[in-house]
Structure 1
Amino acid sequence: MTGARAEVELSVDAPVGQLWEAITDLSRIGDWSPECTYAGWLDGWSEPVVGARFEARNRFPNGLVTQVVCMVVAADRPYSFGWRVFGGSPETEEHFAVWHYELRPAVRQGQTVVRQSFIHGPGDSGARAAVRADPENAAALLQGRLDQLRRNMTATIEAMARDIRRRSI
């Protein structure tokens, strides 16, 4: 499982700077994401800089709700934003996922090409727990989760872009 990857790349009708602002506005993620219902800065942090921490809460279709701690590992305004995900303290646990957004201006003015990626591991995660509980279906479980992540990434990015367009009218 470690190293399993999901990625989407979309061209959206939103300028790079405005999309960066949406992606890094943690207070809005619950408005756009089908899975992440809340995110907020921790420990006095209030902006995306390397080392900053935030918490996030996720709700899954089966009703499971999780809470994680994230640490920013990439923050190059307005082109790159990434973080590692921990089930507990980053000082005592291995991260179990890395998320990253890359933004670049598209050929058409006012558009952005956005690539969002997810890499699993190396720490323990819900996906690992599901595989341990049903090892005979490990490949299908992993593929199902990666497909779900791709759908959710696409839905989130598209919702952000629609919101930016609505506010620009």
Structure 2
Amino acid sequence: MTDTPMKVDSLFEVRAEVLIAAPPGVVYATVSDLPRCGEWSAECRGGEWISGTPGTVGAVFRGENHRGRDVVAWAPVVRGTWTTEAEVVTAEPGRRFCWAMRDSAGRRQESVWTYRTQAAEPAAEGSVLVHSFWMGKATEGIRGITADMTEAERTVFFSAWAAKLQTEMEATVRRVRDVIEKF
């Protein structure tokens, strides 16, 4: 089995952005509070910090996730509720917050989620929030999902999964905006 359906530098590179009527520090404080992510994430329902100082580099977060039957329904992905662990790899208050997913042995994988905040252009007020996801080598989970797929099925899966990620990330940044602007 190969990790990718074709030769590329990464399996996934997805991003979404939104303008939020709040300063970068407020946006950063919200999105770096991972236990709150259930307020805006399509899959993560929240969770808890299990080691390290919350929100700092090296801290580990255990997330509780849920995926319905209709998400890329034909693919053998986890359905229902499951947990993941992620390690904070960048924490630059007011600017950038990143975490890498860990495998079952607790090793960081090439699966990194990022929130980047910046002041909006002078003509606009507030901040731009950019949410991105990058996966280089296939994670332990992706390898398991695609293990019994043909090359053609992998190609279809990666395309469908990228579309799922894009749709969910666009919804996520809109929900973050709504949560912040509600106050």
TM-score of the alignment, normalized to the shorter chain, above 0.5: yes
Q: CA RMSD in A?
A: 2.0
Match of 1:17 in 2: 25
> In the aligned structure 2, how far is the partner of 1:84 from the partner of 1:3?
15
- Mapping 1:76-95, distance limit 5 Å: 76-90=92-106, 93-95=107-109
**Larger deviation, residues 153-162 vs 70-79:** 153-162
- Which residue matches 1:156? 172
Q: Following TM superposition, by how much is the alpha carbon of 1:87 offset from its aligned partner in structure 2, in angstroms?
A: 2.8
The answer to whether the 8 A contact 2:49-2:62 is kept is yes
1:111 lines up with 2:139 in the alignment:
no
Going from structure 1 to structure 2, the CA distance change for 1:121 and 1:39 (only over 3 Å counts) comes to farther
- Unmatched 5+ stretches in structure 2: 70-78
TM-score (norm 1): 0.85
Q: Structure 1 residue aligned with 2:146, among 122, 125, 131?
A: 131
SS in 1 for 2:109: coil
Distance (Å, rounded) in 1 between the aligned partners of 2:138 and 2:104: 11
Residue type at the aligned position of 1:133: D
**For 1:45-88, what per-residue CA distance to the aligned partner results, in whole angstroms no more than 9, with x for missing partners?**
34311111111122122234331111111000010000110132
Deviation at 1:19, TM superposition (A): 1.0
SS at match of 2:16: strand
Are residues 103 and 94 of structure 1, via their aligned partners in 2, closer, same or farther at CA, if it must alter by over 3 Å? Answer: closer
- Give the drift of 1:28: 1.3
SS at match of 1:133: coil
Call closer, same or farther: CA 1:13–1:125 in 2, change over 3 Å: farther
Amino acid at match of 1:154: E
Q: Structure 2 vs 1, CA of residues 125 and 64 (structure 1 numbering), >3 Å: closer, same or farther?
A: farther
Aligned residues of 1:127 and 1:145 also touching (Cα < 8 A): no
Q: Residues 123 and 144 from structure 1, CA distance in 2 versus in 1: closer, same or farther, beyond 3 angstroms?
A: closer
Which residue does the alignment assign to 1:42? 50
- CA-to-partner distance for each residue in 1:83-131, whole Å, 9 max, x for gaps? 11013243xx351511111111111454211222111243533333222
Point out where structure 1 has 5 or more consecutive residues left out of the alignment: none
Cα distance between partner residues in 1 of 2:55 and 2:120: 23
8 A Cα contact 2:19 2:177, kept in partner: no
